[in-house]
């Protein structure tokens, strides 16, 4: 029997690397979109583990899938394959543009694989110097050194020494800037169809079509980072399905496992050929436990009813936010798609997003921010109307507390 260790927030400061500053609240139990802490206080969850818990907490079907697979096989490595991994890959292929799947553990790893594949493909099919990557300011693609450099927030990549080269950043939704930056040396354009961390900013339809056209013109691969927007988050199974554009490579993570760490890179057969045996790998990628849970989560999300429900709940959320704005006049913009919603604070309240997040926690509500001026909401796709009502009552209390 393992030794019982008394756990408090102080233990974090004692034993953990100090790169996070977590709340004093330690959640211990959840059900649906409700969470309880060590003291038994309850919270409504509008954060969803940052767009991860797409089916809420302790969903019985996910718990069942985990238990069932846990009594069969956990891990075999990629020297062998396994049944859950192959079933999940087949479902991803059948539901999307993709023909081939590479499984990883996290969004950063999926993006790392996508960028490596794009460079390898371009070198093999065109030339040794076709290696340039174009990404976007305020974009976010993970925390490996390659992906954090591709991300358009230098504060996250500065201070670690020389950065990976041949990466250019331009403004999001600025087609003229892309036209000026792209060339026959560009191997890939990496873009979020809706910037999450960057402030919940949607790509304009003409912009995203223009990006696709410029990639085609210069034989550059279009990579969609759907780590945050994928698996039903926008009301489409993947956000690209709500545009007129199909990417060459797509990355998916966060909600894919409904809370169990798993990610995938999706692409076509032609492009996938460049990752020959031995060119890339992942010890845990395709882990049987993760894939069994993800397969179940994917089946539950990929239904007409669930995806239609997300679009309906988007309207409910935005209506509640509009009502809050009538009361407090603190939002300059309410935006986003599906259940990835941002509320930008007016200039008067710039810098107050984190204060509202902290006050919300005290009022029994978990929310997110996207920078210092945007409240971000990414609840479970199956959150109930009752949970939404209660959450907004608590948010009203929190905002009143901050503004008084």
Q: In the beta sheet, which residues pair with residue 249?
A: 223, 267
Overall number of domains in the chain: 2
pLDDT score of 172: 98
184 is catalytic: no
Q: What is the pTM of this model?
A: 0.97
pLDDT digits (tens, 9 = 90+) for 149-202: 999 999 999 999 999 999 999 999 999 999 999 999 999 999 999 999 999 999
pLDDT at residue 259 in the model: 97
Contact 224, 188 (CB under 8 A): no
| Same-domain pairing of 183 and 164 | yes
Q: Is 240 domain-assigned?
A: yes
Q: 108 a known binding residue?
A: yes
Q: How many CA atoms lie within 13 A of 49 on its CB side?
A: 24
User: Token digits for 357?
Assistant: 């997040």
pLDDT at 300: 98
Paired residues of 31 in beta bridges:
34
Active site residue 116: no
Residue 283 marked in a binding site: yes
- CA distances (Å), 203 to each of 83, 243, 335, 363, in order? 37, 9, 12, 34
Same domain, 286 and 347: no
Helices marked H in 221-330: 269-272, 288-301, 304-328
Mean pLDDT estimate for the chain:
97
391 labelled as ligand-binding? no
Domain that holds residue 31: 9-58+304-403
227 known ligand binder: yes
Q: Are residues 104 and 202 in the same domain?
A: yes
Contact at 8 Å (CB) between 103 and 262?
yes
353 within a domain of the structure (yes/no): yes
Residue 329: both structure tokens together:
């006049």
Residues 229 and 180 in one domain: yes
Does residue 36 have a pLDDT over 90? Answer: yes
Residues 302-339 have pLDDT tens digits of 999 999 999 999 999 999 999 999 999 999 999 999 99
Count Cα neighbours of 185 within 13 Å in the Cβ-side half-sphere: 8
Check which CATH number belongs to the domain holding 157 and give it.
3.40.640.10
In a shared domain, residues 214 and 196: yes
- Neighbour tally for 281: CB within 10 Å: 13
Q: Decide the pairing of beta strands 186-191 and 132-136.
A: parallel
Q: Is residue 2 part of a domain?
A: no
Are 277 and 347 in a shared domain? Answer: no
CA angle 27, 289, 88 (to 5 degrees): 115
Q: What is the dihedral of CA 11, 16, 22, 23, to 10 degrees?
A: 0
The reply to whether 135 and 247 lie within a common domain is yes
Task: List the CATH number of the domain containing 345.
Answer: 3.90.1150.10
Beta-strand relationship, 331-337 and 263-267: unpaired
For residue 66, is it within any domain?
Answer: no
Which of the following is catalytic: 225, 248, 317, 377?
A: 225
Tokens (6 digits) for 322? 């509009």
Residue 65, domain member (yes or no): no
Any domain includes 63: no
* 124: in domain: yes
Last residue of a domain, one of 264, 284, 301: 301
Please tell me the predicted confidence (pLDDT) of residue 1.
56
Please identify, among 281, 301, 321, the residue that sits at the C-terminal boundary of a domain.
Answer: 301
Cα-Cα end-to-end distance for the chain:
51
Separation between Cα atoms, residue 375 and residue 366, nearest integer Å? 11
- Based on the domain organization, do 85 and 29 belong to the same domain? no
Do 254 and 50 contact (CB within 8 A), yes or no? yes
Annotated ligand binding at 273? The verdict is no
340 belongs to a structural domain: yes
225 is in an annotated binding site: yes
Q: Which of 254, 313, 337, 352 is catalytic?
A: 254
DSSP state of 137: B
89 and 162 in a single domain? The answer is: yes
Give the residue carrying structure tokens 């969004």: 107
* Domain end (from 247, 277, 301): 301
pLDDT at residue 3 tops 80: no
As given in the structure block, the two tokens for residue 145 are 């050194």
Q: Count CA atoms within 13 Å of residue 385 on its CB side.
A: 5
How far apart CA 369 and CA 357 sit, in angstroms, is 7
The average pLDDT across 367-371 equals: 96
Same domain membership, residue 368 and residue 244: no
Are 326 and 287 within one domain? Answer: no
| Residues near 155 by beta carbon (within 8 Å), at least 6 away in sequence | none
Residue 341 pairs in a beta bridge with 336, 377
Please indicate whether residue 140 is annotated as part of the active site: yes
Give yes or no: residues 308 and 297 share one domain.
no
pLDDT tens-digit series, residues 256-286: 999 999 999 999 999 999 999 999 999 999 9
* Strand segments (E) across 18-99: 27-31, 34-37, 42-45
Q: Catalytic residue among 46, 136, 140, 224, which?
A: 140
Query: 42: which residues sit within 8 A by CB, 6+ positions away?
Result: 34, 35, 36, 364
Please give the Cα distance from 231 to 229 (Å, whole number). 7
Q: What is the phi/psi pair of residue 301, to 5°?
A: -80, -40
Cβ distance 104 to 227 under 8 Å? no
């Amino acid at each position: 029997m393992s030794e019982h260790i008394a756990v408090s927030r102080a233990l974090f400061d004692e034993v953990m690397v100090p790169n996070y500053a977590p709340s004093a609240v330690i959640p211990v139990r959840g059900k649906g979109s409700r969470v309880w802490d060590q003291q038994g206080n309850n919270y409504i969850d509008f954060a969803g583990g940052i767009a991860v818990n797409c089916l809420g907490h302790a969903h019985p079907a996910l718990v069942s899938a985990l238990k069932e697979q846990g009594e069969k096989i956990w891990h075999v490595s990629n020297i062998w394959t396994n049944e859950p991994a192959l079933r999940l890959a087949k479902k991803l292929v059948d539901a999307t543009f993709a023909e081939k799947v590479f499984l990883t553990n996290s969004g950063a790893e999926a993006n790392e694989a996508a960028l490596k594949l794009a460079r390898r493909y371009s070198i093999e099919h065109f030339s040794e110097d076709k290696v340039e990557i174009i990404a976007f300011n305020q974009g976010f693609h993970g925390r490996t050194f390659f992906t954090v450099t591709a991300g358009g927030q230098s504060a996250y990549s500065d201070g670690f020494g020389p950065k990976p080269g041949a990466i250019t950043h331009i403004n999001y939704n600025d087609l003229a800037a892309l036209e000026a930056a792209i060339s026959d040396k560009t191997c890939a354009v990496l873009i979020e169809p809706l910037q999450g961390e960057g402030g919940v900013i949607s790509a304009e339809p003409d912009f995203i079509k223009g990006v696709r056209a410029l990639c085609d013109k210069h034989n550059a691969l279009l990579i969609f980072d759907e780590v945050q927007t994928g698996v039903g988050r926008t009301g489409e199974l993947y956000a690209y399905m709500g545009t007129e554009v199909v990417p060459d490579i797509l990355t998916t993570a966060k909600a894919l496992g409904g809370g169990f760490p798993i990610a995938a890179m999706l692409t076509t057969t032609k492009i996938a050929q460049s990752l020959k045996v031995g060119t890339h790998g992942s010890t845990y990628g395709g882990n049987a436990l993760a894939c069994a849970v993800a397969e179940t989560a994917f089946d539950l999300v990929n239904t007409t009813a669930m995806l239609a429900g997300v679009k309906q709940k988007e309207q409910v959320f935005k209506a509640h936010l509009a009502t809050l704005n009538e009361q407090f006049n603190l939002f300059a913009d309410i935006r986003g798609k599906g259940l990835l919603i941002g509320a930008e604070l007016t200039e008067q309240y710039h810098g107050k997003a984190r204060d509202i997040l902290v006050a919300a926690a005290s009022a029994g509500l978990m929310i997110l921010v996207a920078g210092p001026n945007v409240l971000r909401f990414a609840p479970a796709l199956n959150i109930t109307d009752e949970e939404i009502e209660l959450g907004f009552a608590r948010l009203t209390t929190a905002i009143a507390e901050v503004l008084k």
